[in-house]
Structure 1
Amino acid sequence: MIASLPLFHRIATQPIIVLGAGEAAEAKRRLVERAGGAVIDDLQEGIDKGARLAFIAHEDEASAKADALRARCAGLLVNVTDRPELCDFTVPSVLDRSPVLIAVGTGGASAGLAKQLRLRLEKLLPQSLGALASALYAARGELRLKWPSAGERRRALDAALGEGGALDPLQEASAARVPSWLVGKAEALPAGPAEIVLGSLDPDDLTLRQMRMLGAADLIAFEEGTPEKVLARARADASRVAIPLGAPAPEVAGLVVILRVPRPVGS
């Protein structure tokens, strides 16, 4: 179970309340302006203008609590600097490869940890990642023509974007290969039933191949006793169906992954 739902909120041209003085408040103002938001320094003015988000960076705890309560009662989502217990949302450390954004958050537990993880990822992810995303966006029409169904497109992209694939996102030249990949004989991950026999009930024991299968599946058929933590590694929008122990895969179109739980020795 995750403690919060990560979302990307479009705020360009929108009024955003930022209250407080000092470096913490200035940092929030810069963050809002970077995303194109219009900073409002007065709580009532922001409410009147229809603001949906409020950043509160008062050093005085009583002032922070009072303004957070007032903003929340007006229907705004609130972030209070250094007081995660007062926050409706937290601000992650953001890695920018526009239009690709990678947000690393700790739910307010440690901004320093989030920053260091982001810095490690900065070294791994090439600057060309944004160009690859833009090239795929521009190719949406061609993708639909080549693979008419959503499942076909997803499996083709999973094969191309996987490690060592034609469009491996960790390779600098991937964006330039999009046109040739589309006109060539692009391979897709296979459809049909695929079985995963769990070696244990620990999701960390899943292999890279099994993770790729779960990430590409259209339907997850799972035996009784499959932990929710394992199911959470699958695509969030994949269909799910519980099946009895040993039952065959349902006969449906697309990639069906059957999760089998470990059997006791001798069974």
Structure 2
Amino acid sequence: MHSLPVFLRLTGRPVILTGDGEAADAKRRLLERTGAVIVGEEDKRARIAIVSDGDAVTAERLRARGVLVNATDNPDLCDFTLPAIVDRDPVLIAIGTGGASAGLAKALRQRLEALFPARLGELAQALFAARGAIKARWADAGARRRRIDAGLAPGGMIDPLRADAVDALPDWLAAEGPVEGSRLIAIALLSGDPDDLTLRAARLLGEADRVYHAASVPAAILDRARADAARIVADVPPADPGEGLSLWVALDGAIA
């Protein structure tokens, strides 16, 4: 991973913007949407700058002051890049290519714009407002997470790709039925390339509480698991994998 994606709050903060023309106008509109205070290069309070014309001299001068710089069309002088954005406030989806191709980022954004419902932000806000009720409904943290995962899964009651998902939230919260019990699922990898993961395998990695895996499984595969999922090297599948969803991952042919 060449960069760490972050969402930076700029409301009320000074941000330097230099350059003129259409590129500067576009960056100005973007900064105004975030609530940033747009200032000139002389403002010593600013710690972030966008050099809209990519001028190397200006970029180097600002970087020498310790300012983090984005220099348009000059990736070698960029401390950060500006992603293409799908905005479903408060849900933000950012697509970056590390400055390799703004056109590719734009094309991906356009695909995602068509995929995500306009009311996706409403679902996020409703889930936030219902946090207390969700915690009261499922007091156990593991059970609560599994319920949320099941609700948001493809075809679930609050599947975020459903246009009416926010309307289904009360019914999901009131739904009866046992929490899905502990499971151990085996995943036979076709190769060590994460691009060869099936959709099912990628989904399970994103949901699992723990991943038992052969030592030969590459880190690139394990990186697709949840960040907080336990990763446990093992020679054989565990007899007692623990509560929730556990996976046994090995290259095809090593699955017992």
Q: 1:44 aligns with which of 39, 42, 45?
A: 42
Is there any run of 5+ residues in structure 1 with no aligned partner, and where? Answer: none
Q: Look up the match of 1:8.
A: 7
Instruction: Answer yes or no: is the 8 Å Cα contact 2:212–2:237 preserved in 1.
Output: no
Write the distance in 1 (CA, Å) between the matches of 2:173 and 2:159: 14
1:200 matched to 2:191? The reply is: yes
Q: Distance in 2 between matches of 1:97 and 1:205?
A: 30
Name the count of aligned residue pairs: 256
C-alpha displacement at 1:24, in angstroms? 1.2
**67, 79, 89: which is aligned to 1:98?**
89
| Alignment partners' CA distance in 2, 1:22 and 1:171 | 41
Structure 1 partner of 2:139: 148
TM-score, with normalisation over the residues of structure 1? Answer: 0.87
CA root-mean-square deviation: 2.2
For residues 231-242 of structure 1, the aligned pairs below 5 Å read 231-242=222-233
3-state DSSP of counterpart to 1:126: coil
Q: How big is the shift at 1:16?
A: 0.9
User: Residue by residue, what CA displacement relative to the aligned partner does 1:100-124 show, whole Å, maximum 9, x if unpaired?
Assistant: 1111111111111111111111111
Conserved 8 A contact 1:159-1:189:
no
Change in 2 beyond 3 A, CA 1:183/1:20 = same
Helix, strand or coil at the partner of 2:42: helix
Q: How big is each residue's C-alpha offset from its partner over 1:220-257, in whole Å with a ceiling of 9 and x where there is no partner?
A: 221111022211211123222222x2252665443322
**Structure 2 stretches lacking a partner, 5+ long:** none
- The Cα of 1:144 is off from its aligned counterpart by 1.3
Q: TM-score, normalised by structure 2?
A: 0.91
SS state at 1:211 partner:
helix
Letter in 1 for 2:47: R
Instruction: Tell me if structure 1 keeps the 8 A contact 2:182–2:242.
Output: no
Contact kept, 8 Å, 2:188 with 2:253, in 1: the verdict is: no
Is the contact made by 2:138 and 2:144 (CA closer than 8 Å) also made in structure 1? yes
Aligned-pair distance for 1:189? 5.0
* Aligned pair partner of 1:88 in 58, 72, 79: 79
Q: Does 1:221 align with 2:212?
A: yes
8 Å CA contact 1:166–1:181 kept in 2: the answer is yes
> Does structure 2 conserve the Cα–Cα contact (< 8 Å) formed by 1:221 and 1:242?
yes
CA distance in 2, matches of 1:131, 1:249: 43
1:174-203 per-residue CA deviation (whole Å, 9 max, x = no partner) reads 101111211112665543433222233332
Greater mean alpha carbon deviation, residues 16-25 or residues 86-95: 16-25
Contact 1:156 1:187 (C-alpha < 8 Å) held by counterparts: no
Question: In structure 1, what is the Cα distance between the partners aligned to 2:132 and 2:112?
Answer: 31
What is the distance in 2 between the residues matched to 1:151 and 1:252?
11
Write out aligned runs for 1:115-126 (5 A).
Answer: 115-126=106-117
CA change 1:247–1:188 in 2 (3 A) is closer
Q: After superposition, what is the alpha-carbon deviation per residue over 1:69-111, rounded to whole angstroms, capped at 9, x for unaligned?
A: 2322333221001101110111111111111111111111111
Tell me by how many angstroms 1:34 deviates: 0.8
SS in 2 for 1:246: coil
Question: What is the match of residue 74 of structure 1?
Answer: 65
